[in-house]
Chain A
Amino acid sequence: MIRFDNVSKSYPKQNRPALRDVSLEIEKGEFVFLVGSSGSGKSTFLRLILREERTSHGQVHVLGKDLARLSNWKVPHMRRQLGTVFQDFRLLPNKTVAENVAFAQEVIGKPRGEIRKAVPQVLDLVGLGGKEDRMPGELSGGEQQRVAIARAFVNRPMLLIADEPTGNLDPQTSVGIMKLLDRINRTGTTVVMATHDQNIVDQMRKRVIELEQGRLVRDQARGVYGYQH
C-alpha cells in the first residue's frame, strides 16, 4: 500500500532535513498512528504520500506506484484513490453539508445520479443523517469533522490520510471520531493518522510509527503513544 525506501527530504533554505533515511512499509488494511513532536517530520511524511512534495532521496511507493515516476498530470488520478482529513476540517463555508460531500464527486466528474445516491449513504455512515442541508458553520467541531470524513470517504478510497483529525476536538468528541475511523478501517481502507493525542493512541493499540527529528525511531505493532513526550 505504502512503501518508503531510504527516503530523505530536505527543504531549500533549511540545513536540517525534514526526513532522514526513512524506510518502512504499510500493508493494505492497516491502521497506523504517526506520532512525534512538532517538527519531527510527520507532515512531510504525509505530504510525500499525497505527492504534494517529492523526495530528495529514496523512493515512495503508494498503491503500487513509484511517485517519483508519476507524471504531474497523473497525480490527480492517484489522489482520487486517497481520502484526506485535516485538523481544520477544510470545508467550504458557503456550501451545505451535502454539497460539501458532493463536491468531492463533482470535481472528478461523477454522474449526478450516482452523487445523489452516494451522498446520503455516506452521511448516514458518519452519523449525520438528516443534516444534509445544514451549513458547516451551524455544526459543532465534531460534526464538521464527520462531514470532512464523509467527503474523504465518499469516493471509497483505498487509503485514508488523517492529519491530526482530533486536534481541535474535545476528548469525548475525539473518541467518536476515532470510532468512525476505526469503522472505516474495518471496511478494508488503510488509515494513516498523524496525531498528538496520547489517550487515543494508548486506547486503540494500533501500529505506532514514531518520528524524531526526521528519523524513524520506533515502529511498533499494537504500540502506545510513547514515553513522556
Chain B
Amino acid sequence: MRAQFVLSEIGVGLRRNLTMTFAVIVSVALSLALFGGALLMREQVSTMKDFWYDKVNVSIYLCNKNDAETDEKCSKGAVTAEQRDQIKSDLEDMNIVEKVHHESADEAYKHYREQYSDTAIATVITPDQMQESFRVKLKDPEKYKVVATAFAGRDGVQSIQDQRGILENLFNMMRGMNVAALFIMGLMLVIALMLIVNTVRVSAFSRRRETGIMRLVGASSFYIQMPFIMEAAFAGLLGGLVACVMLLVGRYFLIDGGLALSEKMPLVNFIGWDAVIAVLPLVLVIGLLMPSMAAFIALRKYLKV
C-alpha cells in the first residue's frame, strides 16, 4: 500500500469535514481530559492516604480533673497512675498495635500553643485543661474498632478517637468528585462516539463515488476503509494531545501557579509531574484507538463492501 496516496486521501477527507472534525477533536479532548483527571484524582487520594494514614493515630484521651466534674464518662475521677500504666501495658500486649506514645497534659499544651499560637483561645488555655492521651499507631489502620471496643468505657478513659475518620470525610469527598468526573466523562465519551459515527457517515457518503469505484476495481475492504479509520484516528489523536495539554496545564494551575494549592495547603503532598506524565501515554492511546474502533464499527454499517 502506498503511504503517500493514503495520506493525501486523509487530508482531503479531514478538510472536507472541518467543522465535524473540530467537534470530534473537542469532544474527545474533553472526555479524555476528564478521564485523565479522574485517574490523577485517584492517584492523589491514594498518595494522600499513604501519607496520612502513616501519620494518623488512634487517640485514647484520658480523664483529667476538669472532666471528672463535667463528663459522666469520667465520673470516677481523673485517671490514676495505676490505670494509666495498665492501659499502656494492655495496649503494648495487643499484637495489632505497632507503637504506643504517651502524651502528657503538658506536652499536649505545648503542641496546642504551637499549632494555634495566633488564636485567642491559645492564650486563655491552661495546662490542666489539656488531656493526657495515648497515641496508638496500628499496624493496620483499619483495625481501629478492636482498640475502640477494648478500651471504651474503661475507668480513666474519656474518649477514643480515630483520626482516620476526619480524613475519611475528605477522601470520600474526593472519591465523590472522582465518580462525578467519570460520569461526565462517560457522557462526553458517548457524545464523542456519536460525533465520530456521524462524521464517518457523512465522510463515507461524500466519498461514495470514490469508494464505489474502489470497490469495482477490486480494492480490499481494508484499503477502502483505511482512510476513514485513519481520519478518525488522526482526529482522536489530536483530541488526545489537547487532553494531555489540558492535564499538564490543569496540574500547573491547580497546584503550582494560579490556585497554588501547594502553598495554601502545605500539609498535603500533591502528586508530582511524573504522575501526570505517566497518565499521558494512556490518554493518547485511548484517543487513538477509541475513535478508530468507532469508525470501524460505523463503516460496517455505512460502507458495504
**Interface on A for B, CB 8 Å cutoff?**
50, 72-73, 75-82, 84, 90, 92, 103-104, 106-109, 112, 151, 155
Is the pair A76, B220 in contact by a Cβ cutoff of 8 Å? yes
Contact of B141 with A by CB under 8 A: no
A109 to B217, CA, bound (A): 11
14 CB < 8 A contacts A-B: A75-B305, A76-B305, A77-B220, A80-B217, A90-B209, A90-B213, A92-B209, A103-B217, A104-B217, A107-B218, A107-B223, A108-B217, A108-B219, A112-B2
Is the pair B209, A77 in contact by a Cβ cutoff of 8 Å? no
Main secondary structure of the interface of B (DSSP, over half): helix
Is the pair B218, A77 in contact by a Cβ cutoff of 8 Å? yes
Of A50, A76, A112, A151, the residue contacting B219 (CB under 8 A) is A76
A37 to B214, CA, bound (A): 29
Is the pair B221, A73 in contact by a Cβ cutoff of 8 Å? yes
Closest Cβ–Cβ distance, residue A201 to chain B (whole Å): 25
Chain B interface residue count, CB cutoff 8 Å, equals: 18
Contact of B150 with A by CB under 8 A: no
Of A81, A90, A151, the residue contacting B212 (CB under 8 A) is A90
Is the pair B2, A109 in contact by a Cβ cutoff of 8 Å? yes
Taking A103-B214, A108-B220 as given, write out 9 further A-B residue pairs in contact, using a Cβ cutoff of 8 Å, ordered by the A residue number: A50-B216, A75-B305, A76-B215, A77-B218, A79-B217, A79-B218, A92-B213, A107-B223, A155-B217
A-B contacts, CB under 8 A, total:
55
Is the pair A103, B213 in contact by a Cβ cutoff of 8 Å? yes
Of B216, B219, B220, B305, the residue contacting A90 (CB under 8 A) is B216
Name the residue on A nearest B217 (C-beta).
A104
Among the interface residues A76, A79, A84, which one has the most CB atoms of the partner chain B within 10 A?
A: A76
Is the pair A106, B5 in contact by a Cβ cutoff of 8 Å? yes
B224: which A residues are within 8 A, CB to CB? Answer: 107
A155: which B residues are within 8 A, CB to CB? Answer: 217-218
Closest Cβ–Cβ distance, residue B13 to chain A (whole Å): 13
B305: which A residues are within 8 A, CB to CB? Answer: 72, 75-76
A72: which B residues are within 8 A, CB to CB? Answer: 221, 305
Known: A73-B220, A107-B223. A79 touches B215 (CB 8 A): yes
Is the pair B216, A79 in contact by a Cβ cutoff of 8 Å? yes
Known: A72-B305, A106-B5, A107-B223. A78 touches B216 (CB 8 A): no
A109 to B1, CA, bound (A): 5
Closest Cβ–Cβ distance, residue B303 to chain A (whole Å): 13
Closest Cβ–Cβ distance, residue A173 to chain B (whole Å): 22
B216: which A residues are within 8 A, CB to CB? Answer: 50, 79, 84, 90
Contact of B71 with A by CB under 8 A: no
B256: which A residues are within 8 A, CB to CB? Answer: none
B213: which A residues are within 8 A, CB to CB? Answer: 90, 92, 103
A155 to B216, CA, bound (A): 12
B215: which A residues are within 8 A, CB to CB? Answer: 76, 79
A160 to B95, CA, bound (A): 89
Is the pair B2, A106 in contact by a Cβ cutoff of 8 Å? yes
A76 to B222, CA, bound (A): 10
Known: A90-B213, A92-B210. A78 touches B218 (CB 8 A): yes
A75 to B222, CA, bound (A): 12
Closest Cβ–Cβ distance, residue A152 to chain B (whole Å): 8
- Residue-wise interface mask of B (1-15) relative to A, using a CB-CB cutoff of 8 A (1 in contact, 0 not): 110010000000000
B218: which A residues are within 8 A, CB to CB? Answer: 76-82, 107-108, 155
Name the residue on B nearest A91 (C-beta).
B213
A104: which B residues are within 8 A, CB to CB? Answer: 217
B5: which A residues are within 8 A, CB to CB? Answer: 106
Name the residue on A nearest B212 (C-beta).
A90
Closest Cβ–Cβ distance, residue B75 to chain A (whole Å): 87
Is the pair A76, B209 in contact by a Cβ cutoff of 8 Å? no
Of A75, A78, A107, the residue contacting B217 (CB under 8 A) is A107
Known: A90-B213, A92-B213. A76 touches B221 (CB 8 A): yes
B221: which A residues are within 8 A, CB to CB? Answer: 72-73, 76
A82 to B209, CA, bound (A): 19
B219: which A residues are within 8 A, CB to CB? Answer: 76, 107-108
A60 to B305, CA, bound (A): 19
